[in-house]
Chains A and B, each alone.
Chain A
Amino acid sequence: MDGGSFINGLMIAIEPINILWIIVGGFLGTIVGMLPGLGPATAVAVLIPITFSMNPVSAIILMAAIYYGAMYGGSRSSILLNTPGDGSAIAATFDGYPMAKKGQAGEALAISAVASFIGGLIAVVGFIFLAEPLANFALEFGPAEYFLLMLLTLSAIVALSIGKMVKGFLAMMIGLTLSTVGIDTQTGVYRFTMGLPHLSEGIDFLIVIIGVYAIGEVLYNFLNIDQQKKDKKKVGKVWFTKDQWKRSKWPILRSGPLGFLIGVLPGAGGSIASMISYTSEKQISKRSEEFGDGAAEGLAAPESANNAASVGAMIPLLTMGIPGSGTTAVMLGALIMLGLRPGPLLFEQQPETAWALVNSMFLGNIALVIINILLVGLLVKILDTPAKVLYPIIVLLAFIGTYTLSYSTMDFFLLLIFGLFGLMMKIMDIPIAPLVLALIVGTDMEQNFRMAVLSSNGSLGIFFSSGVSIALVILTLLSLFYPLIIKLVKKKSQKNTDQPEQVYKSS
C-alpha cells in the first residue's frame, strides 16, 4: 500500500464537504433502506441524480455512504417490522424481530448497529490490504481474461439464484441483449435502434435500473399495500446489556472477516454472507436452541457479516471494474456516468480518489453508527410514515432521476416500460440482479470477446492460453454445474442408503 496516497485520500475524505456528504448519504440511505421492500440497489438508483452536479470524488463518497446507509436501514425495518429491505437483511429478522417483540427493540437496534460497525471496520482493514495487490494482478489481464472474468461473475450470480437457474439465465440473456442496442463501437453499425435516434447511444442502463428497482418495486409493493399493518414497537433505551455484548462479541469478530471474504467473491454478497454467518454461529453456539428466539448473537453475527460483505463487494468493483452484485452493478453504472472508470488503473491513475473512498468507508461506518443510535427516535418516526405516502414519492424521485440523465421525457416511457418489466420479473420470481449485471458489463464483455478473438486471428484458443484464463474457465464451469454435482452426490448417497432396503424387498 502506498502510504502517501492513503494519507492524501484521508485528507480528501475529511474535507468538511465530504464529511457532510457522508452524513447526508448515510442518513438518506438509511431512510430508503428502511422502507419495506426497498433495498440498497433502489436507494442508490433513486438517489443517483443527487450526485450529478458534484465532483466525482464527492459523488463516489456520497454513493458509498448511501449504500452503507441502506444496509443499516434494511436491518432497522427487519428488527422493528419483520420486513427486510432486501435479501441481506433477511437474517436480521430471525432474532432481531423476536428481540423487538420481547421489548428489547432498543437493545436489538444498538447491537445491530455496533455489529455492523465492527464488521464494516474489519472489512475496511481487509480492503486496504487486498485492494491494491488485486488491482496489480488485474493489470496483467488481457481482453480474454476480462471476458472470462465477466462470464464467471455472471454465471456465479446466476448459479446463486438457487432453484431458479433457468430464470437467472434468462434474465442474464435479456440484460446482454439490451446491452447490444445502439451503435457498435468497433464498427459503427447501428443495432436494434428501430430507427429511433434516441436509441443510437444504447439504452441507458440507469433508466433500466431505476425502472426495475424503483418503479418495479413500488408496483410490486402494491400487491399487499392494504395489508401492510404496522405494529408499533416501543423503542426504549438504545444500548445493550453487558451479557448481550459478552455473547455477541466473538460472533461479531468471526463474522466480519467471513462476510468480507464472501463479499469479495463474484456474485455472492450480503445475503449469502449473513445467512452463512448465521447458520455457522448457530452450529457452534452452546445456546443454539435460543437462536430464532431473540438471541443477541443471532442478530449480531449476520449484521457484522453483511456489512463486511458490502465493503468486500467494493473490491472487485473498484479494482477490476467488475461488480459482484446488483447493488454494486448500480454503483458501477453511476460511476461510469460520473466519468470514473473503476478498474485496475483507478488505483494507479487516481490513487487519491480510490483511497479517499476507502477512508470515507471508515468514516461512513462511524457516522452511521452514530446516526443509527442517536437518531433512532427520528428514524422510527420515519418508519411510521405510511407506505401509501412514501411510494408515490419514490415514483416521483424515479421520474426526476430519469429526467436528469438526458433531459428528455422520451425516457419516461422507457422508465415505465422497465418498471412494468421489473414488476413482471418479481411476480414470476425471475431474479433481477443477473439482468442488471449483464446489462452493465454486456458491452465490455462483447468488446473484450471480439478483441480477444481478433488478436488471435479468429481462434478461440486464446481463452485457454494462460493459467489465469484456464482457471477462470474451470471456475465458471464449476459455478454452473455445482448445483447439478450436489444433486448427483445427494442422489447417490440416497441410493446407497436405499440399497439394503431394495435388496430386502426383492428377496
Chain B
Amino acid sequence: MKTMKLIVPFFLILFSIVMLISSFNLQKANLGNPYGPIYFPAGISIFMLIFSIIYLMQELKNIHKENPSIKLMLSGRTPRLICVTILFGIIYSFLFERVGFLISTFLFLGALLFFINGKRKWIVNTVVALSFSFISWYAFSELLGVSLP
C-alpha cells in the first residue's frame, strides 16, 4: 500500500525531469526566436517538477493514512479484471485489422463478457456479444459510413 501511494508521485517527478531535459534538447527554431518552441514546455516541466515534489511530500506526510481505492484495487478479482481487460484490448488491437471488425469484435466482446459477467451466464454473454457486434458494425459501417476493416 505504502509503495503504491508513492509510485505516482515518483513517476511524476521522473516524468517532469525527463520532460525538462528533453525540452532543453529540442531543436532550435530557424524562424523567429530560436528558443520559441522551448520556453513553454520547459516552463511547464519546471512547474510540474515543483508540484510533483510537493505532492510527494504530502503523500509522505500521510503515508499511514489508508487509501480505500488502492485497497480495493488490490483485493479480490479486481487486479485480474483490470489486467485481463487491458490484455484483451491489446489482443483486439492486433486482431482488428487482421481478421476484420465483425469477428474480432465478437471475440473481444465475448471474451470480456465471459470474464466479467461469468461463465454461468453464457447465453446472455453470447447473445449480447453476437447482437452487439452486429449492431455496432451495421450502425457504424452501414448507417454512419465509417469504413471498418
Contacts and interface: CB of A to CB of B under 8 A. Distances in A.
Interface string A168-199: 01100110110010001011111110000000
A101 interface: no
B99 to A, nearest CB: 12
Contacts of A173: 16, 44, 47-48, 51
Nearest to A398: B89
Contact of A427 (B47, B54, B67, B117): B67
B72 interface: yes
Interface stretch (A280-288, A293-301, A405-413): A405-413
Chain B residues touching A, majority SS: helix
Contact of B41 (A180, A226, A391): A180
Contacts of B36: 184, 186-187, 450
B41 A177 contact: yes
A399 to B, nearest CB: 7
B146 A404 contact: yes
Counting chain A residues whose Cβ lies within 8 A of the other chain, the interface size class is 35 or more
B89 A190 contact: no
Contact of B44 (A50, A180, A391): A180
A336 interface: no
A386 B47 CA distance: 44
Interface in B18-67: 19, 22, 26-33, 36-37, 39-41, 44-45, 47-48, 51-52, 54-55, 58, 67
A454 interface: yes
Main SS class of interface, A:
helix
A189 B37 contact: yes
Given A53-B144, A170-B48, A391-B116, A413 B90 contact: yes
A78 B93 CA distance: 36
Contacts of B86: 416, 419-420
B37 A191 contact: yes
A166 B146 contact: no
Please indicate which of the listed interface residues B40, B67, B148 has the most CB atoms of chain A within 10 Å of its own CB.
B40
A224 B108 CA distance: 23
A309 interface: no
Interface string A152-176: 0000000000000011011001101
Nearest to B147: A407
A225 B44 contact: no
Nearest to B146: A404
B93 A412 contact: yes
Contact of B116 (A174, A388, A409, A458): A388
B130 interface: no
Interface string B78-108: 1001100110011011101100000001001
Residue of A53, A184, A225, A430 with highest tally of chain B CB at under 10 A:
A184
A189 B26 contact: yes
7 contacts: A49-B140, A52-B144, A53-B146, A186-B31, A226-B77, A389-B117, A396-B136
Going nearest first, the 10 A-B pairs with the smallest beta carbon separation are A187-B29, A173-B48, A412-B93, A392-B112, A223-B72, A388-B117, A184-B37, A189-B37, A427-B69, A222-B81
Interface of B: 5, 8, 12, 15-16, 19, 22, 26-33, 36-37, 39-41, 44-45, 47-48, 51-52, 54-55, 58, 67, 69-70, 72-73, 76-78, 81-82, 85-86, 89-90, 92-94, 96-97, 105, 108-109, 112-113, 116-118, 124-125, 128, 132, 136, 140, 144-148
